[in-house]
A and B are shown apart, each in its own frame.
Chain A
Amino acid sequence: MSTFIIYAIVVISVILTLQALFSIQLMLYTWEDTERGVRSMPPKHLAPPRFSFTVLLPARAEEKVIYDTIHKVWNADYLHGLLEILVICHVSDEATIREAERAIKDIGSRTVRVVTFSDPPINKPHGLNVGLANSHNEIVTIFDAEDDVSPDIFRVVNTIFIAEGVNIVQGGVQLMNFRDHWFSSHNCLEYFFWFKSRLHFQAAMRMIPLGGNTVFFKRNLLDMVGGWNQLCLTEDAEIGLRLSTLGEPIRVFYDARIATREETPDSIEQFIKQRTRWHQGFLQILRSGVWRKLPGRKQRLLAFYAFAYPWFQGFSLLLIPIMLGIGIFMKLPVLVALLSFIPLYTLVFQALLSAYGIIAFARDYHLKYSLWDIIKLLLTFIPYQFLQGVSALRATWREIIGRSNWEKTAHVGAHRG
């Protein structure tokens, strides 16, 4: 028995350590060398407008923010003749439609329109498909109703499409209100590391779950894959995966000055709902088996890793205290006990990296932070993992009992100062 435990501990420690090292490597991919750092940036020299854009703005019960968002997008630095904005609502959502129409009236252009749909399901991918069918321009992009869109975004993306000959571009998205709740800072950092670093690795590997907004497609590509999957809870990741199976390269860029700004969920309940949706979406993707169609073995492995990650994370979170307990209370050979502590080291290292991350994040976005923010961040590192673990369990449960309705995240505009 004890020999079995020893072997189990050795194997688990090694797996957890390797997993953590890989995860750290992804977290820090962009910083590895200057070349990567420079390449993750948007182009520095902007070309004159050439491509025409359709902006899809799916909105549901967003009457508080939609007016401003439409204005922000419309006022971006780009030729109005090359810009089309479609606000997509369910017919029943009268408040949002009213607010959107008020904005359209103020703008007074025929290229800004509200598109409605009445058939189920009422969810984002359905809205996107409706929007796509009603759009006219060469490049289709998505913003969420609460997004703060950079005025430079269209010129930057236009330049990338001209200069680099790619068909899909993913821009940075960043949660901003890192001081609002104890979990906000972790949530902001997830976005920071995801869009600044990890996505670039996945782009280089040609296996990329796309983000939900600030993503730009050539419309023929969307037509070719038949738009978004209306049954998937994470339609953004799903379409990214399907495009990856075609071997389509995706350019990712991140720059604090032109990232799309969003807000964190405004309560733990909202957070868990949102995270449950993501995890469940990932689980759906994993079950669908689309990832097996990826051309390379490494890509398939990475896809499996990426979509199974939530469970892996929950699992390792459970294991670490068990291992520590065994390491402390059982008389193990010292070397094995030492080994069982290595995963903990990597966890501490990740926590410290997030402390570094908050400093870098605040510096990039010119935000104020205090020492207390950092201490709080370190103290809540484990509880935050716990929230994710709970969401993963909840997602698994919902998937098992077959409940897959869209639990919508509420938006209040906390990121708009």
Chain B
Amino acid sequence: MYSETRRDLPTRQVTAVKTPLPSDNLAESGVTTYEIESITEERKRRFRWINWELAIILLILVIAGVLHGYNMFHYPYIEDDEGIYSSEAWSVMMHGQLSPYTYWYDHAPAGWIFMALWMLITGGTAIFGQVIISARVFMLVLQLASVLMVYRITRNLTGSIFAAVIGSLLFAISPFGIYYHRRVLLDNIATFWMLVSITILVGTRSLTLRRVWLSAIACGLAVLSKENAVFIIPALPLLVLIRSHKLHRGLAIFGWTVVSVSVVSLYFLFAILKSELFPPGTLPWDTSSHVSLLGTLQFQAARGKDGGLLDLNSAFWKSVNFWVRGDRFDNLPDPLLTVAGTACAIISLLFFRTNQIISIIGLGTILMWVFLARGGIVGNFYLLPILPLLAICIAMVLGIIYNRIGGYFAKRNISSSVRGVLAGSVCLILLAGMVVGTYSLTPDHGTLLPQRYVRLLTSPQADAQYEALNWAFAHIPPGSVIVTDTYAYMDLITANRGYKVYWYNKPDLDPQIKAEVGNWNHIDYLIVTDQVLFDMQTAHLTMLADAYTHSKQDARFLTDGWQVSIRQVIHTTAATGSAVTAPPNEAGLEALRQPIWRKV
């Protein structure tokens, strides 16, 4: 019964003294352990390398910040989704409403509520001028935090600064990443929370319950920011399992699950409180038409079903092709992270006996892939939550190799600096091999890569959009009814010129707006992009199409492949004054329930 000799400290000193943890805990948890030195010596040492490491981290952040931040308002063009999310954030901040229009559960709202918080703290448009600019700066902040967390995670899992530098840099300089991280996308916010959740779990040498709760909350927020994040969930309790001590293991896993599910359930509770959980007609007393969470979920689950992994023509393989080889338009593949990262995720599974945490991160990465390969809608930016994990996987595998080579030479009494150089060189050669090998998969074998970076840093692609706005303010008379690509919505609304502004799809799809606008003849101006034209045709936006056919182009702006045209609707006298206001009909409601899906 009493085998091990252990003298407990007097209770008087209990709160002040930190006892080292039982060593079996550390070995068991798989976190790299360091020899316990005397406190002063350790502090001195830490002081030295912290400063050195701090400099490295700052350098990485500067690189990440410059690559992401430089030219980020001009490239890429402002997509309609960005306009939607930033105006929803604005709506939360200013009016306490989840959307300028009826919120129809298209996505869980935590992402733009978080963004609204950012706008509140930074004073709305006060600092950045435009809402969309403020939102893109927010993305920069999130990205810097994410890079830092990738560093922290890799550093803790491998114990190696070398690996941490590789991981965070791969994540920061990914051309695919820079392009999409600049965009105001919910996936970026979800990725941030996912990394927070992981960092909290692996951030210390021993796991406390408080960290478990915080991690669970962060994971819940990730799911509520973008539903895709739900697929990392199986991996995280496994992390808790490995990281916790047997004294509180059961409680930690149980508590993590309960807390994260509770956070996610708030979304459903919200729908219940608004009587919008079930589609109309599901409950016998619920006959009025309204939006519903489950209706939207059902609709989404049914969308774009295909063979996934097993069908070479599926959306999944098309996207993989894009991620590996790029496409004609923006052409920003990342074969290194996609191919080599996935390979390293699989390799990491081999370390299950020696380093379970690394395998679990690899497993999490693979689970995210499995979700994409399930056979459903896959957008190009669906890679975003996986991207940091892929970078971590590569860095972890290189880190293990680095440590093993170092250990091999250490046995032969070779000095530590020589060891570092030798091991580092081997890893860098391996990395170079991965770069060459994976980029040879692209049509240009990576030779266009420098040009792509130049484009990221110099292209004025979004300028047409700003010019169009300036033109609109100069030429569109106050009080006009404008139907616009969502990118311009917030600027037109906040311009204080009495414009009546609508998202381009709302007059056709939102019964309330349809009734409000009446018919095409009440629209004065259209601000049109290729996206608007595409949706107009594919989603049968008839009122928009009518207005479009009755309009003439006043101005057209084009920079680097993205164009905006401003069109004035030519009113017909016959229709003016006797506008037939169509009441919302069944077809309109049906369309609202099954809205168009832009690019997912």
Tell me whether B269 and A335 are in contact (CB under 8 A).
no
Tell me whether A249 and B12 are in contact (CB under 8 A).
yes
Neighbouring B residues of A341 by C-beta, 8 Å:
269
Tell me whether A31 and B248 are in contact (CB under 8 A).
yes
Neighbouring A residues of B210 by C-beta, 8 Å:
32
Of residues 93 to 112 in A, which have CB atoms within 8 Å of B's CB atoms?
A: none
B21 → chain A closest CB, angstroms: 6
Of residues 26 to 76 in A, which have CB atoms within 8 Å of B's CB atoms?
A: 28, 31-35, 37-39, 43-46
Q: Is A257 engaged at the interface, CB distance under 8 Å to the other chain?
A: yes
Q: CA A338 – CA B266 in complex, angstroms?
A: 8
Q: CA A360 – CA B252 in complex, angstroms?
A: 13
Q: Is A359 engaged at the interface, CB distance under 8 Å to the other chain?
A: yes
Tell me whether B5 and A44 are in contact (CB under 8 A).
yes
Neighbouring A residues of B209 by C-beta, 8 Å:
28, 31-33
Of residues 229 to 258 in B, which have CB atoms within 8 Å of A's CB atoms?
A: 245, 247-248, 250-252, 254-255, 258
Q: CA A32 – CA B9 in complex, angstroms?
A: 19
Interface residue stretch chosen among A161-169, A374-382, A389-397 = A161-169
Tell me whether A43 and B10 are in contact (CB under 8 A).
no
Q: Is B470 engaged at the interface, CB distance under 8 Å to the other chain?
A: no
Q: Is A369 engaged at the interface, CB distance under 8 Å to the other chain?
A: no
A31, A348, A356, A360 interface centre (most CB from chain B within 10 Å): A31
Q: CA A345 – CA B274 in complex, angstroms?
A: 19
Q: CA A164 – CA B14 in complex, angstroms?
A: 11
Of residues 229 to 263 in A, which have CB atoms within 8 Å of B's CB atoms?
A: 249-251, 257
Q: CA A160 – CA B207 in complex, angstroms?
A: 28
Neighbouring B residues of A31 by C-beta, 8 Å:
209, 247-248, 251-252
Q: Is A14 engaged at the interface, CB distance under 8 Å to the other chain?
A: no
Q: CA A352 – CA B262 in complex, angstroms?
A: 12
Tell me whether A45 and B250 are in contact (CB under 8 A).
no
Tell me whether B250 and A360 are in contact (CB under 8 A).
yes
Tell me whether A356 and B250 are in contact (CB under 8 A).
yes
Q: Is A349 engaged at the interface, CB distance under 8 Å to the other chain?
A: yes
Q: Is A8 engaged at the interface, CB distance under 8 Å to the other chain?
A: no
Tell me whether B8 and A33 are in contact (CB under 8 A).
no
Neighbouring A residues of B248 by C-beta, 8 Å:
31-34, 37
Tell me whether A166 and B10 are in contact (CB under 8 A).
yes
Q: Is A358 engaged at the interface, CB distance under 8 Å to the other chain?
A: no
A9 → chain B closest CB, angstroms: 13
Q: CA A45 – CA B3 in complex, angstroms?
A: 7
Known: A37-B247, A39-B9, A327-B273. 19 other contacts (CB 8 A): A28-B209, A32-B248, A33-B207, A34-B22, A34-B206, A34-B247, A34-B248, A35-B21, A43-B2, A44-B4, A44-B6, A45-B2, A45-B6, A165-B10, A204-B15, A334-B274, A349-B258, A352-B254, A360-B251
- Some 12 contacts from A to B, beta carbons below 8 A apart, are A28-B251, A31-B248, A33-B208, A34-B247, A35-B206, A44-B2, A164-B10, A165-B10, A203-B11, A334-B273, A353-B255, A356-B250
Q: CA A165 – CA B255 in complex, angstroms?
A: 37
A240 → chain B closest CB, angstroms: 15
Q: CA A348 – CA B210 in complex, angstroms?
A: 19
Q: Is A337 engaged at the interface, CB distance under 8 Å to the other chain?
A: yes
A5-36 interface bits toward B, Cβ cutoff 8 Å, 1 = contact, 0 = none: 00000000000000000000000100111110
Look across to chain B and name the residue whose beta carbon is closest to the beta carbon of A356: B254
Tell me whether A45 and B4 are in contact (CB under 8 A).
yes
A159 → chain B closest CB, angstroms: 9
Neighbouring A residues of B9 by C-beta, 8 Å:
39, 164
Q: CA A372 – CA B245 in complex, angstroms?
A: 29
Neighbouring B residues of A166 by C-beta, 8 Å:
10-12
Neighbouring B residues of A203 by C-beta, 8 Å:
11
B1-45 interface bits toward A, Cβ cutoff 8 Å, 1 = contact, 0 = none: 111111111111011001101100100000000000000000000
Neighbouring A residues of B247 by C-beta, 8 Å:
31, 34, 37-38
Q: CA A349 – CA B207 in complex, angstroms?
A: 21
Tell me whether B270 and A359 are in contact (CB under 8 A).
no
Neighbouring B residues of A32 by C-beta, 8 Å:
208-210, 248
Question: Interface residues of A: mostly helix, strand, loop or mixed?
Answer: helix
The interface size of chain B toward A, counting residues with CB under 8 Å, comes to 41
Neighbouring A residues of B18 by C-beta, 8 Å:
35
Neighbouring B residues of A165 by C-beta, 8 Å:
10, 12
Q: CA A299 – CA B15 in complex, angstroms?
A: 15
Look across to chain A and name the residue whose beta carbon is closest to the beta carbon of B251: A31
Q: Is B498 engaged at the interface, CB distance under 8 Å to the other chain?
A: no
Q: CA A359 – CA B209 in complex, angstroms?
A: 18
Of residues 440 to 465 in B, which have CB atoms within 8 Å of A's CB atoms?
A: none
Of residues 397 to 450 in B, which have CB atoms within 8 Å of A's CB atoms?
A: none
Q: Is B477 engaged at the interface, CB distance under 8 Å to the other chain?
A: no
Q: Is B96 engaged at the interface, CB distance under 8 Å to the other chain?
A: yes
A34, A335, A349 interface centre (most CB from chain B within 10 Å): A34
Look across to chain B and name the residue whose beta carbon is closest to the beta carbon of A169: B11
Q: CA A360 – CA B248 in complex, angstroms?
A: 10
Neighbouring A residues of B251 by C-beta, 8 Å:
28, 31, 356, 360
Look across to chain B and name the residue whose beta carbon is closest to the beta carbon of A28: B209
Tell me whether B266 and A164 are in contact (CB under 8 A).
no
Look across to chain B and name the residue whose beta carbon is closest to the beta carbon of A204: B15
B213 → chain A closest CB, angstroms: 9
Neighbouring B residues of A257 by C-beta, 8 Å:
1
Q: Which of B7, B207, B250 contacts A163 (CB 8 A)?
A: B7
Neighbouring A residues of B3 by C-beta, 8 Å:
44
B376 → chain A closest CB, angstroms: 30
Q: Which of B15, B25, B259, B273 contacts A338 (CB 8 A)?
A: B273
Q: Which of A38, A46, A349, A359 contacts B22 (CB 8 A)?
A: A38
Look across to chain B and name the residue whose beta carbon is closest to the beta carbon of A166: B11
Neighbouring B residues of A352 by C-beta, 8 Å:
254, 258
Look across to chain A and name the residue whose beta carbon is closest to the beta carbon of B2: A44
Neighbouring B residues of A164 by C-beta, 8 Å:
8-11
Neighbouring A residues of B208 by C-beta, 8 Å:
32-33
Of residues 337 to 369 in A, which have CB atoms within 8 Å of B's CB atoms?
A: 337-338, 341, 345, 348-349, 352-353, 356, 359-360
Q: CA A367 – CA B207 in complex, angstroms?
A: 29
Tell me whether A45 and B254 are in contact (CB under 8 A).
no
A244 → chain B closest CB, angstroms: 13
Neighbouring A residues of B19 by C-beta, 8 Å:
35, 38
Q: CA A37 – CA B247 in complex, angstroms?
A: 7
List 10 tightest A-B contacts by C-beta distance, closest first.
Answer: A37-B247, A31-B248, A34-B245, A33-B208, A45-B5, A164-B10, A44-B6, A337-B273, A32-B209, A251-B11
Neighbouring A residues of B273 by C-beta, 8 Å:
327, 334, 337-338
B444 → chain A closest CB, angstroms: 52
A267 → chain B closest CB, angstroms: 33
Tell me whether A34 and B5 are in contact (CB under 8 A).
no
Q: CA A349 – CA B1 in complex, angstroms?
A: 35
Q: CA A82 – CA B392 in complex, angstroms?
A: 63
Given contacts A46-B2, A204-B15, A360-B251, contact A338 B8 (CB under 8 A): no
Neighbouring A residues of B207 by C-beta, 8 Å:
33
Neighbouring A residues of B11 by C-beta, 8 Å:
164, 166, 203, 249-251
Q: CA A38 – CA B246 in complex, angstroms?
A: 11
Q: CA A86 – CA B3 in complex, angstroms?
A: 34
Neighbouring A residues of B22 by C-beta, 8 Å:
34, 38
A333 → chain B closest CB, angstroms: 8
Tell me whether A43 and B15 are in contact (CB under 8 A).
no
Q: Which of A34, A160, A338 contacts B270 (CB 8 A)?
A: A338
Q: CA A204 – CA B9 in complex, angstroms?
A: 13
A203 → chain B closest CB, angstroms: 7
Neighbouring B residues of A337 by C-beta, 8 Å:
273
Look across to chain B and name the residue whose beta carbon is closest to the beta carbon of A332: B273
Tell me whether A39 and B2 are in contact (CB under 8 A).
no
Neighbouring A residues of B250 by C-beta, 8 Å:
356, 359-360
